[in-house]
Amino acid sequence: MIKIESDGAVNGGSHAVVRWNSSCELTYQKVHGGRYTLIERAPTLVSRERIQSANIQERQFIRMANQDNDQQTVHLLHIGKTGGTAVKSVLKRYSDSVDSPLVLHAHKSTLADVPVGEKVVMFLRDPVSRFISGFYSRQRKGQPRYLSEWKPFEEKVFAAFSTPAELASALLEPTHEHHDVARMAMKRVMHLRQYRFWYGDLDYFRSRLDDILFVGFQESLDADFAILKGILSIPATELLPTDDVSAHRNPADLDRYIPPEGISCLRQWYAEDYEFIELCRSLR
């Protein structure tokens, strides 16, 4: 059950602290328009079951605190290696002041985490290109911009494969000694996962089409961000970062080559992703 420890949510304060089952403290901050968004969860290390339950409590609190406010919230879902870090680096300077209050999500937030009726922005990328970029990003543990240590299963992945081509080759051949590791990598490494992790399935996504405010693409990032700035009333003079570190881009000299048979295998693996991309392009 939700218990509000401070009365900021009801008396106009700038913060509200919520306790869930006396074991998880959730701190919300009032943003532009008087709405509340989660800014901190403590403790940060809790079980998967507690995280799932806490997520439900978070959504219930946000609906409760915001139910009397008619300002429209816009959620940016951050799908890894699609330009999201660059976009967020600009949007975070305006998240408290643009006409539509912004909620900038982390990688693990999905469309199902966004309340029905609130708007969603996301950026996508060709799945094979994203696979290559995601492989090298996790191989470097996100450095130099971040340092996200490998999980135990990632240690196995990057002990087995030194390039994206090697992973694609193992995925292609069922008899390859690392075939099972390759399949595990595709399912569990965040930056290699299929887009359905974020949208659920195509039927669910279609049921939420009215909530999709804008879909941009990494291949046309600057032009699409210019469109988004107009939608969110952000000054046209704001530009995305151009250096590799700020934009969280891979170095230019990496080996991106994958043989045609590997490309074909990846396209088959990401077949639904390509269908999803075409659906999103049709919305524009």
Q: Among 17-31, 72-86, 249-263, where is mean pLDDT lowest?
A: 17-31
Q: Is the pLDDT of residue 115 over 90?
A: yes
User: What pLDDT score does 40 carry?
Assistant: 52
pLDDT digits (tens, 9 = 90+) for 162-212: 999 999 999 999 999 999 999 999 999 999 999 999 999 999 999 999 999
Mean pLDDT on 83-110: 85
Q: Is the pLDDT of residue 128 over 60?
A: yes
Would you list the DSSP string of 173-196? -TTSTTHHHHHHHHHHSGGGS-TH
Q: Where are the domains of the chain?
A: 1-71, 72-284
Mean pLDDT on 236-253: 85
Mean pLDDT on 262-269: 98
Residue predicted with more confidence, 57 or 194: 194
pLDDT exceeding 90 applies to what percent of the chain? 64
User: What pLDDT score does 12 carry?
Assistant: 43
User: What pLDDT score does 171 carry?
Assistant: 98
What phi and psi values does residue 185 have, to the nearest 5 degrees?
Answer: -60, -45
Across 5-39, b (16+ Cβ under 10 Å) vs e yields eeebbeeeeeebbbebeeebebbbebbbbebbbbe
User: What pLDDT score does 176 carry?
Assistant: 98
Q: Which residues contact 1 (CB under 8 A, 6 or more apart)?
A: 21
Q: What's the Rg (C-alpha) of the chain?
A: 20
Alpha-carbon dihedral of residues 221, 223, 229, 235, nearest 10 degrees?
120
CATH topology classification for 72-284: Rossmann fold (3.40.50)
| Average per-residue pLDDT for the chain | 82
Q: Is the pLDDT of residue 223 over 70?
A: yes
pTM (predicted TM-score): 0.75
Q: Is the pLDDT of residue 215 over 80?
A: yes
User: What pLDDT score does 26 carry?
Assistant: 57
User: What pLDDT score does 191 carry?
Assistant: 97
Q: Are 27 and 66 in contact (CB under 8 A)?
A: no
User: What pLDDT score does 4 carry?
Assistant: 40
Distance of CA 29 to the CA centre of its chain: 21
User: What pLDDT score does 218 carry?
Assistant: 97
Q: Is the pLDDT of residue 270 over 90?
A: yes
Q: Is the pLDDT of residue 147 over 80?
A: yes
The model's confidence at residue 50, banded by pLDDT at 50, 70 and 90, is: very low
Mean pLDDT on 50-55: 44
Q: Which two tokens stand for residue 152?
A: 């135990």
Distance CA 60, CA 79 (A): 24
Q: Which residues contact 111 (CB under 8 A, 6 or more apart)?
A: 77, 120, 198, 199, 200, 204, 205, 208
